[in-house]
C-alpha cells in the first residue's frame, strides 16, 4: 500500500462511514508504520486537502464527467477527487503521476472500464484546466472557496460578502503549530531555547506562547516531560481572560481534553482548585493524563453534564469557564471535517445557553464567568451572551472579543467575560 491508496481508504471511512479524519488518519498511519516521512506527509496532505476542497473538486468533476457526481461509485468518486486535488493544488506532483496513479487505483477499486473513465476525466481537465462557476451567490463563493452553500450563507449573514470571503479564505490556509509553555516549568523564552536544543526552530509569541514551523510533538522529549502543550492563541486567551488567581476555586464546565483546565492551573501556579467537568468518563481520563504529564496536582475531574444543574456546586466558584460545545467553524483549518456539516447548528444555541446559565449559578457573589467558543457564528456567540445578560440583570459584561484567522493569525475564537455583581 502506498500513500495514495492509504488516503483513498481513509477518505472512504470519513465520507461514507462517518469517521473523524484525525482518528481515521492516525489509525491508517499506525497501519502504515513503514512509511517514510515523505509518504506520511503525502498521506496527511491528501486526506486533509480533499476534505477541505471537496466541494470545489466535485464541482469540477461535474464539469468533465458524463456521470453525475452523486451517482459515481463511491471509490471512483474519491479517486477522481484525489487525482484532481493533486492536479489543482499540489504543484510539486507531475501531471503524469497524478493521473497514472489514479488510474491504477481505479483498476484496483473500480468495475471494468473504471480506469478508462478516470483517465478520461483527469486528462480532459489537464487539457484545458477550465471550469464554469455558478452565476449566483452563495453558490459561486461555495465553489471558489470550497464551502457548502449553507455555511457560506451563514458567514455572509454575519459579516457581509467581502469580509466573509476573507475569513473563509484564511480558514483554508494551513495553521502554524502553536505551543503553550508550561509556566510551572519554563518561560516562553526558555522553551524556545530548549526546543532549539532538540533541533526544532521556534519563536516567541504572546505570553507563554511559542510558534513553530511544525514537528512531531508526540516524539518530543520535552513534550513527554510536560514542558509544553499544544494550544492556539484563541483558546489560550480563554484562560488568560478568566484571570484565575492562586487559591481560588475554578470550574471548567466542558473541560475535555483539558487544555484550558491545565492552563488555568498553570496561571494559578498550581495553587487552588480546578474542577474539570465533562459528560464522558473516557474524556475525564484525557484530562487526568494531561495534568499528570504537566505535573499539575490541583485539577479534580468530575463526571458532569453541563446542561444539568449540580446543586452542590451552586455558589462555590470564584470563576467559571464555559467553553461550550459549538459548530467549530473557527477551527476549520485544523478540522476540515467541519465543512461536511454533520452537526445541525440550529440545535446548538439552546444547549450553549443552558450551560452558561448553569455556570452562572455556580458563581459566588462578585465572581467572574467566561463564555467561549471556537466558532465564528454570531448565533452561537454574541447572541447567546446578549440574551443571557438581558435575562440576568445581576451580571455585567467586562470584556468581549472575537479572534479571526485573517486579522489575528489565530483560529476563530469568541470570548465574553462577565461578572456577577
* pLDDT at site 342: 80
Query: How would residue 32 be classed by pLDDT, with cut points 50, 70 and 90?
Result: confident
Instruction: Return the residue matching grid coordinates 510539486.
Output: 92
Kindly state the cell numbers that stand for 15: 465520507
Of 254, 277, 326, 374, the catalytic one is 374
Q: Does the active-site annotation cover 374?
A: yes
* pLDDT at site 318: 98
Query: How would residue 243 be classed by pLDDT, with cut points 50, 70 and 90?
Result: very high
The answer, yes or no, to whether residue 216 has pLDDT greater than 90, is no
The answer, yes or no, to whether residue 341 has pLDDT greater than 90, is no
Query: How would residue 249 be classed by pLDDT, with cut points 50, 70 and 90?
Result: very high
Q: What does the DSSP 8-state code read for residue 345? A: G
Task: Identify which has the larger pLDDT, 341 or 124.
Answer: 124
Q: What does the DSSP 8-state code read for residue 213? A: S
Query: pTM above the 0.95 mark?
Result: no
Dump pLDDT digits (tens) for 49-64: 999 999 999 999 999 9
Instruction: Return the residue matching grid coordinates 448565533.
Output: 379
The answer, yes or no, to whether residue 37 has pLDDT greater than 90, is no
Verify cis geometry, omega within 30 degrees of 0, for the bond prior to 2.
Answer: no
* pLDDT at site 136: 87
Q: Where in 167-305 does DSSP place strands (E)? A: 177-181, 202-204, 209-212, 228-230, 249-252, 273-278, 299-303
Using alpha carbons, select from 421, 388, 379, 414 the residue that is nearest to residue 399.
Answer: 414
Q: What proportion of the chain, given as a percentage, has pLDDT over 70?
A: 100
Q: What proportion of the chain, given as a percentage, has pLDDT over 90?
A: 89
The answer, yes or no, to whether residue 34 has pLDDT greater than 90, is no
Task: HSE, CB side, 13 Å, CA atoms: give it for residue 202.
Answer: 29
Q: What whole-number distance in Å separates Cα of residue 90 and Cα of residue 98?
A: 10
Task: HSE, CB side, 13 Å, CA atoms: give it for residue 84.
Answer: 30
Q: What whole-number distance in Å separates Cα of residue 206 and Cα of residue 156?
A: 31
What mean pLDDT value characterizes the chain? 95
Dump pLDDT digits (tens) for 359-374: 999 999 999 999 999 9
The answer, yes or no, to whether residue 218 has pLDDT greater than 90, is no
Kindly report the CATH number that applies to the domain delimited by 3-132.
Answer: 1.10.940.10
Amino acid at each position: 500500500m502506498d500513500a495514495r491508496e492509504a488516503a483513498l481508504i481513509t477518505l472512504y471511512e470519513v465520507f461514507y462511514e462517518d469517521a473523524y479524519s484525525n482518528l481515521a488518519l492516525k489509525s491508517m498511519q499506525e497501519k502504515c508504520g513503514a512509511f517514510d516521512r515523505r509518504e506520511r506527509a503525502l498521506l496527511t496532505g491528501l486526506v486533509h486537502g480533499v476534505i477541505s476542497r471537496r466541494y470545489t473538486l466535485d464541482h469540477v468533476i461535474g464539469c468533465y464527467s458524463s456521470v453525475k457526481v452523486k451517482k459515481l461509485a463511491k471509490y471512483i468518486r474519491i479517486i477522481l477527487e484525489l487525482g484532481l486535488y493533486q492536479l489543482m493544488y499540489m504543484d510539486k506532483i507531475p501531471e503524469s503521476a497524478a493521473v497514472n496513479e489514479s488510474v491504477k487505483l481505479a483498476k484496483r477499486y473500480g468495475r471494468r472500464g473504471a480506469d478508462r473513465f478516470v483517465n478520461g476525466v483527469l486528462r480532459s481537465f489537464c487539457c484545458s484546466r477550465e471550469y464554469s462557476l455558478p452565476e449566483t451567490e452563495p453558490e459561486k463563493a461555495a465553489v471558489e472557496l470550497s464551502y457548502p452553500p449553507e455555511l457560506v450563507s451563514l458567514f455572509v449573514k454575519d459579516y457581509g460578502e467581502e469580509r466573509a470571503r476573507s475569513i473563509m479564505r484564511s480558514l483554508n490556509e494551513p495553521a502554524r503549530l502553536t505551543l503553550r509553555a508550561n509556566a510551572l516549568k519554563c518561560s516562553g523564552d526558555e522553551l524556545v531555547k530548549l526546543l532549539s536544543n532538540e533541533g526544532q526552530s521556534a519563536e516567541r509569541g504572546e505570553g507563554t506562547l511559542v510558534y513553530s514551523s511544525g514537528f512531531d510533538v508526540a516524539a518530543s522529549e520535552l513534550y513527554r516531560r510536560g514542558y509544553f502543550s499544544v494550544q492556539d492563541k484563541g483558546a489560550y486567551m480563554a484562560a488568560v481572560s478568566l484571570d484565575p488567581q492562586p487559591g481560588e476555586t475554578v470550574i471548567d464546565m466542558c473541560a475535555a481534553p483539558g487544555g484550558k483546565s491545565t492552563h488555568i492551573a498553570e496561571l494559578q501556579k498550581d495553587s487552588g482548585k480546578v474542577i474539570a467537568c465533562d459528560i464522558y468518563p473516557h474524556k475525564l481520563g484525557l484530562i487526568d493524563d494531561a495534568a499528570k504529564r504537566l505535573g499539575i496536582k490541583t485539577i479534580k475531574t468530575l463526571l458532569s453534564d453541563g446542561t444539568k444543574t449540580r446543586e452542590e456546586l451552586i455558589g462555590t466558584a470564584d470563576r467559571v469557564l464555559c467553553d461550550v460545545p459549538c459548530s467549530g467553524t473557527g477551527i476549520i483549518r485544523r478540522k476540515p471535517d467541519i465543512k461536511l456539516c454533520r452537526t445541525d447548528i440550529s440545535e446548538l444555541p439552546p444547549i450553549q445557553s443552558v450551560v452558561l446559565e448553569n455556570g452562572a449559578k455556580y458563581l459566588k457573589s462578585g465572581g467572574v464567568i467566561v463564555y467561549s467558543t471556537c466558532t465564528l457564528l454570531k448565533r452561537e456567540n454574541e447572541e447567546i451572551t446578549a440574551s443571557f445578560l438581558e435575562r440576568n440583570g445581576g451580571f455585567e459584561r467586562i470584556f468581549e472579543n472575537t479572534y479571526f484567522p485573517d486579522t489575528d493569525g489565530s483560529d476563530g475564537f469568541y470570548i465574553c467575560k462577565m461578572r456577577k455583581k
